[in-house]
Amino acid sequence: MTLTLDQTTSRFPIDGRSRQMFIDGAWVDAVSGQTMPTLDPATGQELAQVPRSGAADVDLAVAAARRAFTGPWRRWTPAQRQLLLLRIADLFETHWDELSGSDTLDMGKPLSRSRADKGRVTGMLRFYAGLATTLDGKTIDNSLPGEYFSYTRREPVGVVGAIIPWNAPTAASVWKIGPALATGCTIVLKPSEEAPLTPLLIADLMAEAGVPDGVVNVVTGTGVEAGAPLAEHPGVDKVVFTGSTATGQSIIRASAGNLKRVSLELGGKSPLIVCADADLDATVPTVGLSAFANSGQICIAGSRLLVERSIHDEFVERLGDYARALTVGAGSDPATEIGPLVSARQLERVCGFLDSGRSEGARVVAGGERLTTGDLAAGNFVAPTVFADVEDSMTIAREEIFGPVISAMPFDTLDEAVERANATPYGLAAGVFTRDVGRAHHLAHRLDAGTVWVNTYHALDPAVPFGGFKMSGYGKEGGVEHLDEYLGTKTVWLKLD
């Protein structure tokens, strides 16, 4: 089955026509006039052409954001910003079929999962709306009573440059735009060149909701040509980035020019610890989806599996059976559980890891190959893969693959499991599976990860903070702490006599 958007109602029908980017409330081409294609990862066919922006376009977008920040937007009250976010949430609900369909076509996510994100995404917008009216400061008793009155204000940091990945365009856009609007910042959003269509649709919805010109801008282009100029731009006060650790490091270096604030949600190599007392019927599919959901293209993918030795062989066999039973296909097919990788480049990268695993001595339990039969031949499809006989030193056990691949290894003691789980430069997420509540808390407290799931995985909520340790970045997304990333504290002293 092929997904088709209603061409009579869709504001952006997927019909191969060229798109424009959104700057200062207007749809514009790149200054250079150049465009670039975005492709359907399931078929390789061109979906649209989008502007290939560069430094000159980033200059225009940042200037528009600055004018908006110092203009009427600065005078919007918290209650007005709250109502605006609620209107945006309502529009997202009305147009969710378009948003979810755009995500599926542009980056391959199964339609069932794209549609299931509705509650979480609209919930984020309404959560930020609720926080917009809570941004209060403090009065502080200083050591000079009777002479001075001192208090603090929490003020928007200014112009935000947001660079997002391709693996969740709608959610990633909202995770950046929502807190910016709630706090009174303005934003220039640079989506990935691999999946730029949904952020452009979101820009149109923002305008319809009444977001003032220049408050939300979307520039399309490559990381080198548009992302880097945005990260280093002297007119940007803060950069927020989701993506690879290597790119995050380059953004930190680029931010040094004006010492702009930076928050980063980077890569991971998340460990899963399965104890012998775990409920295997529930744990096998949870572990499988932790690694295979979104074709493994998730920063929190549970790609390192540590299983207590007494159940290791049985667990790995059952996990292999689970992987082989998953339906792989185009994201637009409602029956699809695992869609394509986003691009031919990503396909080549993942296949390289599969070759590495075999050459270094790992045993393929399931998958381990590109799928090229029938309708899958033209797309970027990899079978959900389970490796066994994996050593901690192997490449597949150390590096982030960003594909549907999981590496299984046995352990004998909990101390050993914790030590091996923490033996990574990353610290984004981890999973623990056990029926022993005490053991669950013990392991959760010892694991070096920003999020630890127990007997579940992928659970997220707007009210709960999310972010990593070590080389998985710093700063939080979600929770009250998220808005702190977009605010600065100003101290005021008033002489009383």
Indicate which residues carry an active-site annotation: 265, 299
DSSP string, 440-463: HHHHHHHS--SEEEES--S---TT
247 membership: H or E segment, kind and range: helix 245-254
271 membership: H or E segment, kind and range: strand 271-274
Which two structure tokens, joined as six digits, stand for 307? 């299983």
SS3 category, 167: coil
Query: Are 178 and 118 spatial neighbours (Cβ–Cβ below 8 Å)?
Result: no
What per-residue string of b and e applies to 103-130 under the rule 16 or more CB within 10 Å gives b? bbbbbbbbbebbbebbeebbbbbbbbbe
Q: Exposed/middle/buried for 299, CB within 10 Å: 0-12, 13-18, 19+?
A: buried
**DSSP 8-state secondary structure symbol assigned to residue 293:** G
SS3 category, 269: coil
SS3 category, 392: coil
CA-CA distance, 4 to 14, in Å (whole number)? 8
**DSSP 8-state secondary structure symbol assigned to residue 422:** H
Sign of the torsion angle spanned by Cα atoms 218, 223, 225, 229: positive
CB atoms within 10 A of CB 232: 21
Place of tokens 């009383």: 496
Which two structure tokens, joined as six digits, stand for 229? 């100029």
Query: Are 362 and 396 spatial neighbours (Cβ–Cβ below 8 Å)?
Result: yes
Strands 487-495 and 148-156: antiparallel
Sign of the torsion angle spanned by Cα atoms 467, 473, 474, 477: negative
CB atoms within 10 A of CB 276: 14
Residue type, 396: I
CA-CA distance, 269 to 274, in Å (whole number)? 16
